[in-house]
Amino acid sequence: MAKREYSFYPGCSSQSKASSVNYLKSTQTICEELDIQLNEIPDWNCCSASIGYGGGGELPRISLSARNIALSQQAHGQQDIVATCAACWLATREAKERIEHDGEVRSGIDAALGEIGIKIEGEMPKTRHMVEVLIEDVGYEEMQSKVKKPLEGLKIAGYVGCQTNRPFGIDGESYENPKYLDKMIEIVGAEPVEKYEKKASCCGGALMFSEPEKSQALVKDIIEAAYDGGADMIVTPCPVCQMNVEVYQGHINKTYGTKFKIPVVYYSTLMAVAFGRNGKDAALDGQMIRATRLEEIAKK
């Protein structure tokens, strides 16, 4: 029997051979270590993130999350829903709030779900970010107790980004200077970049696709600030941030004449390595810019 059980909403980007499959892999690894069981929501669908509004209005968008919530209840009762993607977390949580507070939305959603014979029963389960589970349920101490290979000598910029911070925040921390990611860096034995100035600033999100030049300018500043702080790598809790900050470094270098080549990893990858797991379990093979320092530690 696993110690902690949750209903799990993986999100599109973590499916096999999708852009953040490495996030899923490393998350599964740390869940094994921490005795967390994730029960996938059967037949879950995409939540339309924050960018679906060009095609779907309020009700169609909320209905997407409502379907996931109803299916979660059906299969896993009142288990909290856990998401690894910030946008999934946000969309599902916002859907719950809107359904609770707006009678018109509620009746619309009931009707839409009624079309497919499912419904929301009583109180909706909470939707939480994986990071919340780690910090609030598992706790820093227990996480630290699992560390077998401290990531000594590594300096890491904790890039929180927007949506894993605003509007809901993690563990009641401030929006302007959240500390949880720095604490997680410390726990695994590395050193966080102090006063990382771009910690909570935006990478452009989905506009990286539609407005690449404008968004890459934002990412340039995020990376520059990490280098300025002496970082060996950047860590993030969000698949969109991870991708945006990692994969366009070549383009940014071409545009700005910079020489960026900084690995961008998930907190789950850091933890998996520190917990003594191998490179594969930590999904180090998913890095486009290889995290060689982590690879070395994993091999030891």
Partner 1 sequence: MSNPNQAMVEKYRSNFLKEVEANVEEGHWVKMCMQCGVCSGSCPLGPHWEHPPQEIFMMIRAGKREEVLGSSSMWMCTSCYNCIARCPRGLPITHIMHGLATYAKRLGLQPKTQPTAKFSQLFWSNLTKTGRVNELKLGLSLYFMNGFANGIKTALKMQDVGLGMYKTGRLNPLEILGGHSIKDTGGLQKMLKKAFEIEEAKIAEYKG
Binding residues for partner 1, rule: CB under 8 A, are: 12-13, 15-22, 43-46, 48-60, 62-64, 67, 104, 108-109, 111-116, 162-163, 165-167, 175, 201-202, 204-207, 209-211, 214-215, 218, 247-248, 250-251, 285-288
Alpha carbons within 13 A on the beta-carbon side of 292: 3
Q: In angstroms, give the least distance from the CB of 35 to partner 1.
A: 27
According to CB under 6 A, which residues from 5 to 64 bind ligand SF4? 11-13, 46-47, 49
Q: In angstroms, give the least distance from the CB of 39 to partner 1.
A: 17
Q: In angstroms, give the least distance from the CB of 63 to ligand SF4.
A: 14
Interaction of residue 161 with ligand SF4, rule CB under 6 A: yes
What gap in Å lies between CA 150 and CA 188, rounded to an integer? 5
Q: Which residues contact 233 (CB under 8 A, 6 or more apart)?
A: 154, 156, 157, 262, 263, 264, 265, 291, 293, 294
Q: In angstroms, give the least distance from the CB of 225 to ligand SF4.
A: 14
**Binding region for ligand SF4 (CB under 6 A) out of 83-91, 93-101, 132-140, 179-187:** 83-91
| DSSP structural state of residue 58 | H
Tokens found for residue 284? 């180090």
Q: Is the dihedral of CA 159, 218, 215, 232 positive or negative?
A: negative
Q: In angstroms, give the least distance from the CB of 166 to partner 1.
A: 4
Q: In angstroms, give the least distance from the CB of 214 to ligand SF4.
A: 12
Q: Which residues contact 71 (CB under 8 A, 6 or more apart)?
A: 41, 42, 43, 44, 118
Helix axes 239-247, 86-101, angle to 10 degrees: 150
What residue 17 binds from ligand SF4, partner 1, none (CB within 5 to 8 A, per partner kind)?
partner 1
Cross-sheet strand order for the sheet of 4-9: 36-40, 4-9, 81-83, 127-129
What residue 88 binds from partner 1, ligand SF4, none (CB within 5 to 8 A, per partner kind)?
ligand SF4
What residue 10 binds from ligand SF4, partner 1, none (CB within 5 to 8 A, per partner kind)?
none
| Phi/psi at 260 (5° precision) | -65, 135
- C-beta of 110 vs 296, nearer to partner 1: 110
Q: Could you identify the residue written with the tokens 């209905």?
A: 63
Q: Which residue in the set 81, 240, 252, 270 belongs to the binding site for ligand SF4 (CB under 6 A)?
A: 240
The binding site for ligand SF4 (CB under 6 A) comprises 11-13, 46-47, 49, 85-88, 161-163, 202-205, 238, 240-241, 244
